[in-house]
Amino acid sequence: MKVSLSVAGLARSNESEKNSDIGESDLSATIRQLLKLIRELKAQLAEKMAELQALMAQQGLDAETRQMRAQALQTEVGSLSGALSSANAQLVKVIREEGLSAEQSASIASLM
């Protein structure tokens, strides 16, 4: 018997494996969700920064095209940075509200 997953299924499988440490933690569902969001935003931000660096190093593009693409990527980087800041602020708020133990706080730090 052979089982194959669709591309979407594989992506979900990889996503769940990537965050399995968060899912297995003893933290509240809200904190786990925020940690997963923060990880995803960090990954997206790193991807856009890499795209921007690759664009700037790319030969053969005229200056106007490079500038237009760079501005678009910089806008995306700015949006992702803002979302990451908001998610971090929300995490701090929830941590304060829940009054976590020192062990749980250390767990959060290690999962970020």
Structure-model confidence comparison of residues 80 and 5, the more confident one: 80
pTM, 2 dp: 0.80
Percent of the chain with pLDDT over 70: 86
Average pLDDT over residues 97-103: 91
**How many residues are present in the chain?**
112
11-52 pLDDT tens trace = 555 666 789 999 999 899 999 999 999 999 999 999 999 999
Per-residue pLDDT at 9 exceeds 60:
no
Report how far residue 41's alpha carbon sits from residue 83's, in angstroms, rounded to the nearest whole number: 7
Report how far residue 3's alpha carbon sits from residue 108's, in angstroms, rounded to the nearest whole number: 36
Report how far residue 39's alpha carbon sits from residue 112's, in angstroms, rounded to the nearest whole number: 7
44-70 pLDDT tens trace = 999 999 999 999 898 888 989 999 999
